[in-house]
Structure 1
Amino acid sequence: MTSALWPLQTAVYAKLTGHVPLMALVSGVYDEVPEQAAHPYVSLGSITESVDDAHNQRGLEAAVVLHVWSKYRGFREAAAILAALDAALDRQPLTVSGYRDVSIAHDQHQQLRDPDPQIRHINVSYRVWLTKI
């Protein structure tokens, strides 16, 4: 089975950076966060894949983790960004090169206090189901 890691990351990145309401809230969406990135921003985290074949079709189930970073006191700003992520991704169409029947849904999220007391962090996981073309 060929991995969907890169096509899936590319599709998620394109979906997020093309979502005007999200981009109005953040300074950027990053795979590799620049040293001087302004808060708030979203970073792409890990992607895990599991084989999810059906009869004679090759398929994958993936978990995509995103991170919201904010310096707003409290979690209000990070929560608004999480809502914009959901508007962009949760149960929305997603085109992934080499795959069909792609569906994506919010799985879970967790708000965290960073060791730096000024930083607020929410990590969010989305489940993605894909069938190989």
Structure 2
Amino acid sequence: MSSALEAVQRQLIMALNAHLPLTAEISGIFDGAPPRAAFPYIALATGASLDWSHKSGIGRELSLALSIHDDGAAAARLHRLMALVEEALEPGLIDPEGWQLVTFDYRRSRIIRSATSAWNGLIEYRARVLRD
């Protein structure tokens, strides 16, 4: 059985890849920052897992972060990509193998850029799961 984080991340990637308006705009979705990907792309940031167990079962509360990278001159395309990610995940996720998804919630988003790097958008979600 895979870890809860791994199982939920797999479902997250499947949901994003199934959203054609998003996949038409990006070069790919990667597990971490790729060494030489074409802009724009999405990278999964390291997630966190907390205990969410109860008296008779094992549960996890997961923090999931998606980082969207774009080298545009302005943030307009990045805003559009972030909206497409939210649109793709709005219906939620299906239960990952070995786990029951109890909640899947949008938490926050932000855009950051330094003078020497590309635009970066961060979108965070929270998932709570119970082991089947």
TM-score grouping bracket, smaller chain normalisation: 0.7 to 0.9
**Equivalent position SS for 2:77:** helix
CA deviation map 1:16-53 (0-9, x unaligned): 12221110111111114443311111011111011112
Which residues of 2 match residues 26-105 of structure 1 at below 5 A? 26-105=26-105
Against the structure 1 CA distance between its residues 50 and 25, is the aligned structure 2 distance closer, same or farther, given a 3 Å change threshold? Answer: same
Partner of 1:125: 124
**Structure 2 residues without counterparts, runs of 5 or longer:** none
The percentage of counterpart residues that share the same residue type is 22
TM-score relative to the length of structure 2: 0.87
- Asked whether the equivalents of residues 58 and 131 of structure 1 are also in contact (C-alpha less than 8 Å), the reply is yes
- Deviation, 1:55, is 3.9
TM-score relative to the length of structure 1: 0.87
Cα distance in 2, alignment partners of residues 102 and 88 from structure 1? 19
RMSD of equivalent CA atoms: 1.9
Cα distance in 1, alignment partners of residues 33 and 19 from structure 2? 19
Moved more, 26-35 or 73-82: 26-35
Against the structure 1 CA distance between its residues 33 and 126, is the aligned structure 2 distance closer, same or farther, given a 3 Å change threshold? Answer: same
Against the structure 1 CA distance between its residues 56 and 43, is the aligned structure 2 distance closer, same or farther, given a 3 Å change threshold? Answer: same
- Asked whether the equivalents of residues 50 and 60 of structure 1 are also in contact (C-alpha less than 8 Å), the reply is yes
Moved more, 78-87 or 28-37: 28-37
* Runs of at least 4 residues off by over 4 Å: none
Partner of 1:116: 116
Against the structure 1 CA distance between its residues 115 and 97, is the aligned structure 2 distance closer, same or farther, given a 3 Å change threshold? Answer: farther
- Asked whether the equivalents of residues 61 and 128 of structure 2 are also in contact (C-alpha less than 8 Å), the reply is yes
- Asked whether the equivalents of residues 12 and 93 of structure 2 are also in contact (C-alpha less than 8 Å), the reply is no
- Alignment of 1:5 with 2:5, yes or no, is yes
Against the structure 1 CA distance between its residues 63 and 32, is the aligned structure 2 distance closer, same or farther, given a 3 Å change threshold? Answer: closer
Partner of 1:106: 106
Cα distance in 2, alignment partners of residues 84 and 4 from structure 1? 25
